[in-house]
């Protein structure tokens, strides 16, 4: 039995879910998201302002899909009601970022700037070396944050680069510490 799959998803005020064939459409104040699932593995039912996911058969694949689909629908419910946010921090002298229209322009130590275009549903805000990424799709917000971080990942000697807010960078000693020992 899936501990996650057994839990019903409660729909808060202003959020609705509609099951059409093999997809669940969740609509709320911030927008609408769709989750696709395999009809032969799980069954999704909306009743009494709750979404209930049940496996259709007893197989390992159906049980694993049960918890996964339930988690994806729960993420969509939270996304359309509250939204998701990731914060990235720029660490390094001369490293800066700015928003131009729908694009994020990074100046992170290269001879050129690095433009990153915001996909549909994602907004960027920049304030004092912190990049805020907002959106309703949890997966998309996380992927965009990872793409921005990959433009200049933090390095272990000085810690310079783009890191997640609160991320701890494991530091290395370097040559000077080796020579002294």
Is 173 a member of any domain?
A: no
Give yes or no: residues 13 and 59 share one domain: yes
Q: Is the pLDDT reported for residue 152 higher than 90?
A: yes
Q: What is the Cα–Cα distance from 173 to 181, expressed in whole angstroms?
A: 11
Give yes or no: residues 75 and 120 share one domain: no
Give yes or no: residues 54 and 90 share one domain: no
By C-alpha distance, which of 29, 130, 34, 25 is closest to 85?
A: 130
Mean pLDDT of 142-157: 95
pTM: 0.88
Neighbours of 95 (CB within 10 A): 17
Give yes or no: residues 62 and 100 share one domain: no
Q: Is the pLDDT reported for residue 103 higher than 90?
A: yes
Number of domains in the chain: 2
Q: Which CATH number covers residue 88?
A: 3.90.930.12
Name the maximum alpha-carbon separation found in the chain: 70
- Output the pLDDT for position 20: 93
- Output the pLDDT for position 130: 95
């Amino acid at each position: 039995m899936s501990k996650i799959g057994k839990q019903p998803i409660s729909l808060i005020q202003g959020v609705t879910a509609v099951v059409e064939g093999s997809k669940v459409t969740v609509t709320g104040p911030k927008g609408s998201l769709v989750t696709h699932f395999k009809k032969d593995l799980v069954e999704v039912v909306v009743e009494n302002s709750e979404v209930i996911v049940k496996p259709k058969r007893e197989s390992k694949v159906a049980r694993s899909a049960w918890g996964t689909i339930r988690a994806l629908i729960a993420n969509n419910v939270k996304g359309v009601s509250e939204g998701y946010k990731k914060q990235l921090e720029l660490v390094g002298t001369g490293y800066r970022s700015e928003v131009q229209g729908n694009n994020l322009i990074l100046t992170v130590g290269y001879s050129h700037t690095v433009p990153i275009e915001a996909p549909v549903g994602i907004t960027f805000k920049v304030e004092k070396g912190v990049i805020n990424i907002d959106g309703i799709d949890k997966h998309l917000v996380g992927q965009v944050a990872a793409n921005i971080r990959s433009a200049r990942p933090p390095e272990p000697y000085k810690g310079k680069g783009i890191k997640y807010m609160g991320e701890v960078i494991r530091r290395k000693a370097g040559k000077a510490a080796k020579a002294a020992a």
